[in-house]
Amino acid sequence: MTCLGAISQELLKKTQKHPCYSTDAHHKYARIHLPVAPRCNIQCNYCNRKFDCVNESRPGVTSEVLTPQLAAEKFAWVKSEIAELSVVGIAGPGDALADWPYTRQTIQSIKQDNPDMIFCLSTNGLLLPELAGEIVALGIKHVTVTVNALDITIGARIYQHISYHGKYYHGVEAAKILVANQLAGIKYLTEHGILVKINMVMLKGINDLHIPTVAKKVKELGVFVTNIMPLIPAPGSAFEHFSPTSMQEINDLRNICQIDIQQMRHCKQCRADAIGLLGEDRSHEFHMFEPQAIGLGVVNSAER
């Protein structure tokens, strides 16, 4: 079954207003990221948890973490100021599913009065097998999963550990669980009519040669688009001294993968609290608190 086979015309029409999924939309429509999910349940070697998730955010300390209630208030404020707002996204600053009760509550409360908004979330996919059903039931139609490797020996070089159902796993054991859950979750979502986007961080000498294999596989699973992103080495992360990937290298890899699946080429690696058009972040105009740099000091699920 191809992805498009399972997607309704209505959803494709709606997606024309999604600035990440539609190239044409990105100059016209705006998104708001509501930072309600500070925790994460895995440790990527390129992530410093004092910084936004590099899967969906450029490394900059997030200005604020909000409760679902404050997030709904912020949404109402931004909507009254930005007429072209079409998407509400939860992109951390940790993992949207690691803090699922907050993510769910935020979307539920905004959706009630704003049924036409597009709701979107990004995740590392670890908890997809147990939460994909709830995502579908909530009416979310756009989900991004970051899949950096399918080969677990490659995955073991990218992920330091995962925290899953109260236990830590390391190395290939961690990668095995993560990859299996990502694949099962993606399959479930595409089979239930969700437009899935796969983000991949290109890591030279680690997963760069492997990425075309990942692209092929996710296409088979019905994924809509892949988004290959450059590594932005986060200070304090295990890959801190990794050389940053050039856009030429990214585009060469995208051109290879384009043969199998359409490529997103306009990603701005947004902050977890980004607001506005993709190329014109207005988050600084909409602070719920006095701006201050906060260390998120992220707590893993097992430590709760």
Task: List the one residue from 95, 99, 273, 281 that touches ligand SF4 (CB under 6 A).
Answer: 95
Residue number, 22 or 123, with CB nearest to ligand SF4? 123
Instruction: Determine, following the binding rule CB under 6 A, whether residue 128 of this chain makes contact with ligand SF4.
Output: no
165-204 in b/e form (b: 16+ CB < 10 A) is eeeebeebebbebbbebbbebbbbbbeeebbbbbbbbbbe
Q: By CB under 6 A, is residue 145 in contact with ligand SF4?
A: no
* CA gap 32, 87 in Å, rounded: 6
Contacting ligand CLF within 151-190 (CB under 6 A)? none
Residue 122 in contact with ligand CLF, rule: CB under 6 A = yes
Rank residues 35 and 94 by Cβ distance to ligand SF4 and give the closer one: 94
Here the tokens at position 70 are: 């404050």
Cβ atoms within 10 Å, residue 241: 7
In angstroms, what is the minimal distance from the CB of 298 to ligand CLF?
18
For residues 92 and 295, give the distance between their C-alpha atoms in angstroms, rounded to a whole number: 14
Q: Does 147 bind ligand SF4 (CB under 6 A)?
A: no
**29 vs 242, which CB is nearer to ligand SF4?**
242
Angstrom distance (rounded) from CA 23 to CA 5: 21
Among 89, 93, 185, 276, binds ligand CLF (CB under 6 A): 89
Instruction: Determine, following the binding rule CB under 6 A, whether residue 107 of this chain makes contact with ligand CLF.
Output: no
Residue 272 Cβ vs ligand SF4, minimum distance, rounded to whole Å: 9
Alpha-carbon distance of 2 to 112, in angstroms, equals: 32
Contact 39, 90 (CB under 8 A): no
Q: Is 273 in the site for ligand CLF (CB under 6 A)?
A: no
Residue 152: how many CA atoms within 13 Å on its side-chain side?
16
Task: Check binding of 120 to ligand CLF (CB under 6 A).
Answer: yes
| Angle (CA) 177 180 186, round 5° | 135
Report if residue 195 touches ligand SF4, rule: CB under 6 A: no
Greatest extent of the chain over all pairs of C-alpha atoms, in Å: 50
- Residues binding ligand CLF: what is the number (CB under 6 A)? 17
Minimum separation from the CB atom of position 26 to ligand CLF (A): 8
Out of 15, 124, 227, 269, the only residue in the binding site for ligand SF4 (CB under 6 A) is: 124
Q: Does 42 bind ligand SF4 (CB under 6 A)?
A: yes
Which residues in this chain contact ligand SF4 in the complex, by CB under 6 A?
40, 42-44, 47, 53-55, 92, 94-95, 124
